[in-house]
Amino acid sequence: MATRALDELVEALRRLPGVGPKSAARMAYHLLQHDRDGAQRLSQALQAAIGAVRHCRRCNTFTEDEVCDTCRDPQRDASLLCVVETPADQAAIERTGSYRGLYFVLQGKLSPLDGVGPRDIGLSKLYQRVTDGQVREVILATNFTAEGEATAHVLGEALKARHLMVTRLARGVPAGSELEYVDLGTIAHALVDRR
């Protein structure tokens, strides 16, 4: 029952994180058998997003503009720059309502075992960003996983060498955890108690 188009769809779905051959096949069958409208919508939304969404020139997060709304907000404290791994982590910190500085989104983390080095995430863009003359403190808010800690360590050393004040979210965020899944009160405290 396999066809070339079906095989290609299954292969394409397998590119999603955490999706193996079986679930990719299930998704493909579901879309083609039960939800052709949904499949159409998915394909159009993908096309539209690929065409419209890019990285903010200043903070590297996703935006449809050259510079994102947060970076353009004059109410933000430009002396504080919080470094996170993903837009989801940025959203988690925003939800606490207790941070008024700016962000930089790495869109990844260092992971030598998976071959992800400094060139593969936005490190050179970050090093440029922090030397705008306004940033005084860089808050490292990478996740408290082994890779997030390693990334924070490498960044911390590099930023200190550039004579910037570097702080890390306080412990209290459980070890091994990703910010996205930590409750708001805990993140807010970790921000206040950073060192």
User: Judged by CB under 5 A, does residue 56 bind Zn ion?
Assistant: yes
User: Judged by CB under 5 A, does residue 129 bind Zn ion?
Assistant: no
The helix/strand/coil state of 80 is strand
Interface pick for Zn ion out of 27, 58, 101, 159 (rule CB under 5 A): 58
User: Judged by CB under 5 A, does residue 68 bind Zn ion?
Assistant: yes
Token pair of 84 as six digits: 């996170």
Spatial neighbors of 171 by CB under 8 A, at least 6 apart, are 144, 190
Interface pick for Zn ion out of 27, 71, 126, 139 (rule CB under 5 A): 71
Total residues in contact with Zn ion, by rule CB under 5 A: 5
Cβ neighbours, 10 Å, residue 68 = 21
Token pair of 13 as six digits: 């779905």
User: Judged by CB under 5 A, does residue 81 bind Zn ion?
Assistant: no
User: Judged by CB under 5 A, does residue 93 bind Zn ion?
Assistant: no
Which own/partner contact pairs does 68-73 have at CB distance under 8 Å and 24+ positions apart? Answer: 70/102, 70/103, 71/102
User: Judged by CB under 5 A, does residue 140 bind Zn ion?
Assistant: no
Which residues bind to Zn ion, rule: CB under 5 A? Answer: 56, 58-59, 68, 71
